[in-house]
Amino acid sequence: MNYEHIERLATFLRYWALRMSTKAGSGHPSSGLSAADLMATLWTTTFRFDFKNPDNPNNDRLIFSKGHATPLYYGLFAAAGAIKPEELDNYRQFESVLEGHPTPRFRFTEAATGSLGQGLSIGVGIALALRAKLRTQNSVLSTKNLQLTTHNSQPHVYVLLGDGEMAEGSTWEAIGIASKYKLINLVAILDVNRLGQSEETMLGWDLGSYQRRFEAFGWNTVVIDGHNFSQITQSFKDSKLQRGKGKPFVIIAKTVKGKGISVLENEHGWHGKPLTQEQFDQSIKELGKVDFEFRVNVRKPEFSQRTLLLKSPKTLKSLKKLDYKKGEEIAPRKAYGKALARIGEVYPNLVSLDADVKNSTYSEIFKEKFPDRFFEMYIAEQNMVGSAVGFARMGFIPFVSTFACFLTRAFDQIRMAAISGANIKFCGSHAGVSIGEDGPSQMGLEDLVMFRTINGSVVLYPADAVATEKLVEEMAKLKGISYIRTTRPPTPVIYGNEEKFEIGGSKVHLTKNQEPRTKNPENRTKNRKKSSITSSKSKVIIVAAGITLYEALVAQEELGKKGIEATVVDCYSIKPIDEKTLLNLTQQGPTQRPIVITVEDHWFEGGLGDAVLNVFACPSKPWQSGADDPKVRVYKLAVSKMPRSGKPEELLRYEGIDAHSIVKKAMEVVTR
């Protein structure tokens, strides 16, 4: 085979990697130079992609897990004619989509990378999703659609890994699950260039150790010289020939960081550092002749489907109605599982991922009904979230569930999912001290603030089964990152089956002495998204959510006996919060300073209380005159002491977030 064509492409890529980073004054040219020969060979001999239709489900997929190598990444698309070479000169500029690390602002990027150790997980999710083929008559998945196939036209997922990120546990989580699911369409390309940012990587050029580790995890492997075009070409051929063995494939390539440029080649201290203009001028002389008009004809997939991989549901009218009875006790976490199974009938693209707690999160109910759309990801939450990004990229709606506390270890993946614009739904069960005897290691107490910080996220905390099921329905309709917190112990059903729950709404519970403006006098709750109930008689406004709503309602009754009228707000939508209702409830006259008490089963910092404080600190919409200075007194009740094992009621009392504590605080502040 004549490798001149590949070598011309590699030279083209090296030139642009140097020019882009030098012109930008920043970037990682040396990291791209080590992988240039690998990528040039992939692009020229193996990769199949329709650049006019990036969402074609038959396209191969390329993920740069070593996302800092963008000078090489963008150069590939320029070589394919997908972008104009002159656009590369805008690299890392504010107005350019060619960012320092890949994001979907660049239309060919599968998902945002750059935080190392995440690309292979995303590849796992895409590889799993690609097994689900579109049925011609409708979009319903079946067992047959998810069966393994050895047909060579099946799209491949190629993930370029850096050797530095092989120290990340999330990478090995992905390696393990890829073997479990026999992802024969997944090919990892490990660029072993030896040098990390500050020193040599853990294994250096010990390729044998990498090979033994991958093989121990159940992968097919090949070790090559990453600058030998013959070996590289053969390795990509082998990756397809090995598919019949039912294992994922890894190409372990020994490379040289800064390959081809003497000042950079195999030298420390150049990671993330561009050349000076003088060094650049000298370096391009070393490259030799560069064909600036060079373009590579990346072949299209062997066949094409014009339809999308999966379709959205045409109607939700076929959803089964709820049949809960008021007063019956059911855990919101169980209602979550029931909701997944119920809406799964009308969302054929809904998949469930769980971290070996499906019998606690109750996602097992979905699994029993739709086994082909349930993916056990085991105790590897970081990989589970990364894989969900891959599923979302392919048009699925992944619902990711585990204990709320364990999602904290995947926070980096969650924030990166938001950068990717991924459409993922999260459920955190066993939240708060109310889980009881399991103790503090199992108590999710940081989850509300964690998800509140995610750009564009929605954060929900329902109190009963009806609210939980209705909010899961709403989550499925949303685009982007949303989170629902589900309580462990059973709670009484307090809402009717026809009650509506809107994102950004709340429910107001009035005392018997207060008369809501509603035609039905028996209806003591009202969706605050559409109404503006206020009461001049209220002395205290108690804002609660989830388990503390019940404590607030008990406190409301006790306060009434003491002559203090309290309005209770079920703030089930914590982000976006129902600003309008909270402002209207506190605007009761120019001389009165309204009293608001927030109560939550979450750490004192960053949860419901702070969300309420933000409303009064700077309301986004002045619904009434003077709303920008409501002079409201806000008191927060939240978890403030290190919890311990105990009964839920003991722990709520210990943390000062039970009904008794609410009454005590109300009595204290009303008399001031």
CA atoms of 324 and 344, how far apart (whole Å)? 19
219, HSE (Cβ side, Cα atoms, 13 Å): 27
CA atoms of 79 and 522, how far apart (whole Å)? 70
Provide the pLDDT for residue 366. Answer: 98
The CA-atom distances, in angstroms, between 143 and each of 132, 148, 157, 216, 636 are 9, 11, 22, 29, 51
Q: Are 226 and 253 in contact (CB under 8 A)?
A: yes
Per CATH, 4-287 and 507-670 having the same topology is answered: yes
- Any idea which fold 329-492 has? Rossmann fold (3.40.50)
CA atoms of 434 and 46, how far apart (whole Å)? 55
* Helix intervals (H) in 578-658: 579-586, 608-617, 648-654
- Residue from 570, 581, 565, 528 nearest 548 by CA: 570
Q: Are 544 and 600 in contact (CB under 8 A)?
A: yes
Supply 519's token pair. Answer: 């035609």
Calculate Rg over the CA atoms of the chain. 28
Measured in residues, the chain has a length of: 672
- Listed in sequence order, the residues at least 6 apart from 130 whose beta carbon sits closer than 8 Å to its beta carbon are 57, 61, 154, 155, 157, 185, 394
Question: Strands 633-639 and 595-603, how do they pair?
Answer: parallel
Q: What would the DSSP string read from start to end of 5-40?
A: HHHHHHHHHHHHHHHHHHHHT---HHHHHHHHHHHH
- Is the model's pTM score more than 0.85? yes
CATH class of 4-287: alpha beta
CA atoms of 437 and 460, how far apart (whole Å)? 25
Domain ranges across the chain? 4-287, 329-492, 507-670
Question: Does residue 278 carry a catalytic annotation?
Answer: no
- Residue from 439, 477, 445 nearest 458 by CA: 477
Chunked into runs of 10 residues, the chain (672 residues) has average pLDDT values of 92 98 97 98 97 93 98 98 96 98 98 98 96 44 39 81 98 98 96 96 98 98 98 95 85 98 96 96 94 94 56 66 96 98 95 97 97 96 98 97 98 98 98 96 97 98 98 97 97 97 97 53 41 54 98 97 95 97 79 85 97 84 49 94 97 98 96 72
Using DSSP's 3-state secondary structure scheme, residue 569 falls into strand
- Sign of the torsion angle spanned by Cα atoms 116, 199, 173, 184: positive
CA atoms of 467 and 211, how far apart (whole Å)? 51
Among 173, 381, 469, 551, the active-site one is 381
Q: Dihedral (C-alpha) 147, 150, 154, 160: value to the nearest 10 degrees? A: 100
Provide the pLDDT for residue 631. Answer: 76
Give the single-character DSSP code of 440: G
Give the single-character DSSP code of 43: I
Supply 112's token pair. Answer: 């945002």
Decide yes or no: CATH 3.50.50.60 for domain 507-670. no
